[in-house]
Structure 1
């Protein structure tokens, strides 16, 4: 009888411990909803991240590539969810924003000065014809030399890019996206403007495509550190 009682007590202790461990483990799991909304907890605050899968989301996230004070008046163009290249919104300031292409992996939106639009539009047209990147480069190089295309030195391009395609609908921020800046300097070289052709260190400016129509200063900021 004593052995039976001892066995029952020991079994009860084991059951209590297992229940406690399961309860502890369940509290440590990070919940992920199955409705297309990803729940992430940061510093005891919960941010609801949603996929960029509507025209409204494409517009909102694209504007994050533009300077904050200029977003309200930017023109926005790009592919909508139906795969059509459209004007999503007219604008009245110096910026044109190109929305992320929902049919391509990752996130990539751009904001550039409106005077760059002829150059950008020419590139889109050539790619739509099936031209390769090298062919697009060669054609625009020839057209820049002939004066058919022009780029005023100093015009800028802001590129917001990242591997994820979810965003916070309250702030329109894309998860883990970062900005890269381009300043066009046609025909410039390392010798003419005094920048190296490779970055000296992360977050340092350098000149890319030196000596060509697409010569530009590249500035790739470091991603924000997360606590």
Structure 2
């Protein structure tokens, strides 16, 4: 009986691993998904990170311009691909490190805020853009080799900026209108959303 249970567990283990590998897109698809968030004229030169079948982030393609793109995480609900300027990389890497340590969003914010103020976390010295393509119903269409059902959003990081220094409101005035989030902090950024793609 014990031998049977052991064999059953091993069989299930291999089956689950096989399923996990099947749900992770190949590198070509992940590159297309990731760069779909980038301005079209920058897609070919962007560095791209994606996921292995074990869920680890890995470099899929070296870049030749200033953009870094991350493919959709297949283990996360919905769809999200992200592209950002290389000057945001220390900020992004630190966030991933802290999340891997089990920190929650507030702890990550507080840690990066303290490190940015201390100068140990380098933040961009100029407004720096991140592009997001995301949505609960977003998905990759293999026929058109494009992402459908996702919303496009621009995030312009401008550390330490405030509503007073930018003239922006702290919440949207009209749908899709720009506003500033986390004003006065290392993570101050301008939010601009667009209607969902069809």
> Do they fold alike, i.e. is TM over 0.5?
yes
Q: 1:169 and 2:169 equivalent?
A: no
Q: Among 156, 170, 176, which residue is 1:183 paired with?
A: 156
Report the number of matched residues.
Answer: 175
C-alpha contact (below 8 Å) 2:48/2:59 kept by paired residues: yes
1:99-132 Cα distance to aligned partner (Å, 9 max, x none) = 1110010100100001111110010011001111
The Cα shift of 1:55 comes to 3.4
1:109 corresponds to which of 46, 60, 81: 81
2:128 equivalent in structure 1: 155
What RMSD, in angstroms, separates the aligned Cα atoms of the two structures?
1.6
Shift of 1:84: 1.7
Q: Which runs of 5+ in 2 are unaligned?
A: 1-22
1:202 aligned residue (170, 175, 187): 175
The within-5 A match list for 1:1-227 is 53-152=25-124, 153-164=126-137, 166-224=139-197
Quote the offset at 1:194 in angstroms.
0.3
Give the TM-score normalised by structure 1. Answer: 0.73
Give the corresponding residue for 1:29.
none
Once the two structures are overlaid, the 10-residue window that deviates more, 120-129 or 77-86, is 77-86
CA distance in 2, matches of 1:198, 1:166: 29
Structure 2 residue matching 1:222: 3-state secondary structure: strand
Q: Deviations over 1:40-95 (max 9, x none)?
A: xxxxxxxxxxx874333222111101111111111001323331210011111010
User: In the aligned structure 2, how far is the partner of 1:170 from the partner of 1:112?
Assistant: 27
* Residue ranges of structure 1 left out of the alignment (5+ in a row): 1-50
Distance (Å, rounded) in 2 between the aligned partners of 1:174 and 1:187 = 34
CA distance in structure 2 between the aligned counterparts of 1:65 and 1:172, rounded to whole angstroms: 13
